[in-house]
A and B are shown apart, each in its own frame.
Chain A
């Protein structure tokens, strides 16, 4: 599943994920017609509208064996919110529960489903990892991305102080309260730069847009990359 930000702004993340999965022997399909998981609508309180988007997504993935999402918040949306949103449509609610159990965020899919620990990648460098809120607190995942990063031979992983603190994106929050959003981001990026890492890794399109936007604005030498890009060896 490639959702809105990934499709339009970070297609290279999706490409990296496809290459990586194929290298690991996974048959990859991309059901046509995908748009967005509906979280922007849901989080702003437009639940009827989000339910319509959810219904559509449930139908699109009806025949997929596993659904892999390179974004913790979208995975959380599908797993935690779709069944409730579709509760008035019993057929789809059942399908949504099934989809929820088949859906994994990328790092979780690699570690839990494929049992991967070490991935061969041409990537070299000192990296630090930001825990995205929905992956960390929503899906309870902090270990898999770190295991995978440590499994790459050329990667030195340094812990980010306050790794579990929000980057300030928060979807529409980032433009409803841009000053507050940016102040939260500044604290995050100060911590990132203190680690001395060359590269900031995250597993969420929203956080990456926020943090890469901030790094680029302060002309930082630190690059923000998605985990898939590190593991696939792209851009190394």
Chain B
């Protein structure tokens, strides 16, 4: 169930396969349209939203300026509360820290609440290899774990599944045929998961935010499973990217006002869970041990790098829902943990520019993502800069670079430009049918396979201007 299992086939083929998957097309169309509408309504009824977005962005900018200070403060406060802080430079380090904890503490089963950070480090596979059973408890994550798949959306991991497909998956575990009714299926999953919560030795979560001044880990969920994961097992491990620290509880209020509205159109998610360290003296609930894993994995070097703004990302998924490309192909075709437009940038951050050689071009640069981003990340601009880097580092194919450099020559010379129109007119002659080009050879066939092309005009505007002047 590796997230990169499909990377052997080129991106264009993965995208093509997604386009031909009728179940996927149905599920994606319904879900993204619903999310877009919900977000729009949420912000229409929230006039202070725009100012808060500016404020949220400013907080992220300022926090990154002194990230070391805020992280230090967070760690001190967690330790003061009796928690343990682990620093992971790489995904492997983060994974190894969790596995060592499992070994040292005799952990056999771990329940998880939804976490992209643990997806990023392929934690479930690592746990399975080590003999620890990971159980996803977010309903969407549970569904895809049953299907041996990976999340295809940052906040709606099973967005690509239809009701019917979900019913089949849960029926198998429940041992009886269940109706394709969300209420029936949710009730069945609750029963199945309840006993896992009670059996598990470890609860693993991500963190939507961590507040430096108080050492608080913040989980934003809609199912309450996050609370079970952080209170029932004897050990709680939170895995978090270092960019998610925020200075204060006041800052948290700004982000909470934006996150659920951007993600699901809710004013606030059903559960906002704030956890501070292990169970304190006199407290009735909470784990014996609390461990926080602070993970770099390529983030720190971007604080002063070209992908800096991607570190502002709140993982709300709004940019996926509005992206015309994501809406057509869904998350799996991207082939990495983080899909959609922001996912291309995050993949470049975590795995290097070479890993997004093709994905960097999986955007029409329409700007819809930038428009809805709660922290106004200029995704199209960063994609264009990423493409520039692919040329500069000679990662882009030599043939492509040659074509664009020749094209440059054409645009710099009026004579060459005008001559190309004349040559084009001659060359297109055998292909014109009823004033249209319907089928062209070679590279041009990529256009004419599905669309007509107007022929180069009998007289270009340059030529017609002589009559108009």
Contact = CB atoms under 8 A, between A and B. Distances in A.
A176 B361 CA distance: 8
Interface stretch (B140-148, B181-189, B241-249, B458-466): B458-466
A42 interface: yes
Nearest to A183: B328
Q: Tell which of B385, B390, B452, B453 has the most Cβ of chain A within 10 Å.
A: B452
B454 A14 contact: no
Interface string A1-42: 010101111111011001000000000101011111010111
A166 B16 contact: no
B449 interface: yes
B16 A179 contact: yes
A172 interface: yes
B344 to A, nearest CB: 13
Interface string B443-458: 1001101111111110
B34 to A, nearest CB: 14
B461 A14 contact: yes
A175 interface: yes
B452 A213 contact: yes
A122 interface: no
Contacts of A41: 404, 407-408, 411
Given A8-B424, A138-B367, A212-B454, A165 B324 contact: yes
B198 to A, nearest CB: 46
Nearest to A184: B324
Residues of A contacting B: mostly: helix
Interface in A168-206: 168-185
Nearest to B451: A213
Contacts of A126: none
B387 A11 contact: no
A1 B12 CA distance: 36
Q: Tell which of B387, B390, B424 has the most Cβ of chain A within 10 Å.
A: B387
B437 to A, nearest CB: 9
B5 interface: no
A52 B451 CA distance: 32
Given A11-B460, A137-B367, A138-B367, A46 B404 contact: yes
A174 B447 contact: yes
A1 to B, nearest CB: 11
Contacts of A4: 411, 417
A159 interface: no
Residues of B contacting A: mostly: helix
A98 to B, nearest CB: 22
Contact of A46 (B408, B410, B436, B451): B408
Contact of B387 (A6, A44, A183): A44
B453 A213 contact: yes
B362 interface: yes
B234 to A, nearest CB: 48
Contact of B454 (A166, A174, A209, A217): A209
A133 B364 contact: yes
Contact of A45 (B390, B438, B465): B390
A178 B449 contact: yes
B362 A177 contact: yes
Contacts of B461: 2, 6-7, 11, 14-15, 30
Interface in A67-107: none
B329 A53 contact: no
Contact of B407 (A2, A11, A40, A164): A40
B469 interface: yes
Contacts of B266: none
Interface in B351-391: 360-368, 370-371, 384-391
A40 B403 CA distance: 12
A209 B453 CA distance: 7
Contacts of A64: none
Contacts of A12: 457
Nearest to B409: A49
B454 A9 contact: yes
Nearest to B468: A18
A43 to B, nearest CB: 6
Contacts of B329: 180
B449 A56 contact: no
A9 B457 contact: yes
A66 interface: no
A182 B396 CA distance: 24
Given A168-B324, A180-B328, A49 B363 contact: no
Contacts of B468: 15, 18, 28, 30
B29 to A, nearest CB: 9
Contact of B411 (A2, A36, A181): A36
A224 to B, nearest CB: 10
23 contacts: A10-B454, A12-B457, A15-B461, A15-B464, A45-B360, A45-B388, A45-B389, A46-B405, A52-B412, A53-B412, A56-B411, A137-B366, A137-B367, A137-B368, A169-B364, A173-B361, A177-B362, A179-B450, A180-B328, A183-B19, A184-B328, A210-B451, A216-B436
